[in-house]
Amino acid sequence: MGELVAVILAAGKGTRMKSALPKVLHEVGGKPMVQHVLDAARKAGCSRSVAIIGFGSEKVQTLLAGQAETVLQEEQLGTGHAVLQAQGMLEGHRGSVLVLCGDTPLVTEETLQQLCEAHASAGAAATVLTAVMPDPTGYGRVIRNAAGDVVKIVEQKDANADELAVNEINTGMYCFDSTSLFQALQQVNCQNQQGEYYLTDVIGILGGQGKRVWAYSTEDHEATLGINSRQQLAQAEKILRRRKVNELMVAGVTVMDPDSTFVDADVSVGADTVLYPFTWLEGKTIIGGNCTIGPNTRLTDVQVGEGSTVHFTYAHECVLAEGVTVGPYVHLRPHTKLQAGVKVGNFVEVKNSVVGPGSKLPHLSYIGDTDMGGGVNIGCGTITVNYDGKKKHRTTIEDEAFVGCNSNLVAPVTVGAGAYVAAGSTITKDIPASALGVARARQANIDGWAAKRK
Ligand code: UD1
Ligand code: CA
């Protein structure tokens, strides 16, 4: 079969989405549709991908930069015309071409591999991926002769009554011999109901040349679903999420309620972790084994080490080491690192800070731009005063320090190792190691004051 290259059609607007965003950039399962297609193609063995772009090309190109070569189709004159745009880029390519659409995010590497294997073992010039649909309306129909060979593909709008009755459809995915494909495309015209250059005509043309045209029919309907509307987008979202959660369960993760657990495609979760309902694991999140996550937790691009517990929490772009406990009602903001055994309790926000091993921030605190050592105790209501209205400043809290309740640490400031901050202090000067910093008015008691007031 030689080298395998993917050509991904992604120039269309997606009129029925009613969106300013190109259709293929709409996200499903946490990433743009076309990204799913590209990932499946790469995993199926494509060494190069060429994307045909048109509507919203700058935005599509930005996403694809470094992942796929792109070629602009200035006017969308049909799928055949679209593939033809890749000819220049594939000059000299003597292997196979996998033609895919950017709007089929459910396609799996397995399905693509099966298509390519069928193509290779048939020694075909073209192999079309087909599926038998209960309702084939809207799709191109696969027309076979009495011997069962594929003769042509007819679009819904061009089909006669007999052809419309066929329920084996063209999924829009194909494997072609590169040379045969581009030769046949030269002969495609636009004499059809839609006045478009149809890629599907290549099938009939190759057959007419006496070349072998093959069809591989997949059982996996879902994998071929094309997204044209927001309803289909929601349908795909459900399928992808269910697939991902199933994968996790097969790998040893307990998911208490798959219907209310939302895990993006690229997330990984270790065995014996338990996901409670209403947990969102997004982006490049990586959860270790033996963790308890949720309920009501959203983690976006977060790493969590083994044996940690995170509940009722929103965290993004953070790293949590092993054995940490977070929640309830915690917000962890970007560039936060919680080292092993850290405990962050209710109503605490941590931003751009490192919290050393075993430190405790149990209640009602804001810790921002802070370098905290290990074994630190942060009293209830501690606030790092990190912003002077113009600039952010850092706070340093060294190992084993003890910060009393309701203290303000006005940055830049350092609380030395083993030092104490008296409760209710507003600390503006560094506290040396092992010292006590007190910064509050001394208490005076006025005897008999209440009686005099009356
Ligand atoms: C196409 C097939 C049909 C098949 C169906 C499967 C043709 C003629 N028909 O129909 O047999 O059943 O897919 O979903 O191929 N595109 C471009 N440039 C263009 C035209 C289209 O890049 O000039 C892209 C679109 O953005 C889309 C893909 O090609 O990603 C398919 O085009 P679309 O118009 O949706 O084709 P269908 O009518 O669905
Ligand atoms: Ca389509």
Concatenated DSSP letters of 27-64? EETTEEHHHHHHHHHHHTT-SEEEEEEBTBHHHHHHHH
**pLDDT of res. 148:** 86
| pLDDT, mean over the chain | 96
For ligand 1, say whether the CB of 192 is within 6 Å of any of its atoms: no
Residue 1 clears pLDDT 90, i.e. is over it? no
Distance 101 CA to ligand 2 centre (A): 8
Distance 228 CA to ligand 2 centre (A): 6
User: pLDDT per residue over 175-210, tens digit each?
Assistant: 999 999 999 999 999 999 999 999 999 999 999 999
Residues 6+ positions from 134 with CB-CB distance below 8 Å: 167
Helix axes 57-64, 33-43, angle to 10 degrees: 40
Q: What is the average per-residue pLDDT within 46-55? A: 97
User: pLDDT per residue over 249-271, tens digit each?
Assistant: 999 999 999 999 999 999 999 99
As given in the structure block, the two tokens for residue 39 are: 């990932």
Judged by DSSP in three states, 380 sits in: coil
Distance 111 CA to ligand 1 centre (A): 19
pLDDT band at 134 (very low <50, low <70, confident <90, very high): confident
CA–CA dist 59, 63 (Å, integer): 7
Q: What is the average per-residue pLDDT within 287-307? A: 98
CA–CA dist 226, 90 (Å, integer): 26
pLDDT band at 278 (very low <50, low <70, confident <90, very high): very high
For ligand 1, say whether the CB of 129 is within 6 Å of any of its atoms: no
Q: Look up tokens 């080490």; give the residue.
A: 305
Cα–Cα distances (Å) from 384 to 129, 333, 402, in that order, read 60, 15, 14
CA–CA dist 160, 68 (Å, integer): 39
Burial 71-85 (b: 16+ CB within 10 A, else e): bebeebbbbbbbbbb
Q: Which domains does the chain have, with CATH numbers?
A: 4-224 (3.90.550.10), 252-437 (2.160.10.10)
**pLDDT of res. 222:** 87
Q: What is the average per-residue pLDDT within 372-380? A: 98
For ligand 1, say whether the CB of 7 is within 6 Å of any of its atoms: no
pTM equals 0.89
Q: What percent of the chain has pLDDT over 70?
A: 100
**pLDDT of res. 13:** 86
Which amino acids are annotated catalytic? 363
Cα–Cα distances (Å) from 220 to 73, 112, 364, in that order, read 31, 11, 51
Q: Which ligand is nearest to the CA of 55?
A: 1
| Substitution site in 33, 76, 79, 106 for ligand 1 pocket (most atoms within 8 Å of beta carbon) | 79
Residue 2 clears pLDDT 80, i.e. is over it? no
For ligand 1, say whether the CB of 9 is within 6 Å of any of its atoms: yes
Q: What is the average per-residue pLDDT within 226-252? A: 96
pLDDT band at 72 (very low <50, low <70, confident <90, very high): very high
For ligand 1, say whether the CB of 93 is within 6 Å of any of its atoms: no
The radius of gyration of the chain from alpha carbons, rounded to an integer in Å, stands at: 30
CA–CA dist 294, 275 (Å, integer): 6
**pLDDT of res. 149:** 87
CA–CA dist 307, 288 (Å, integer): 7
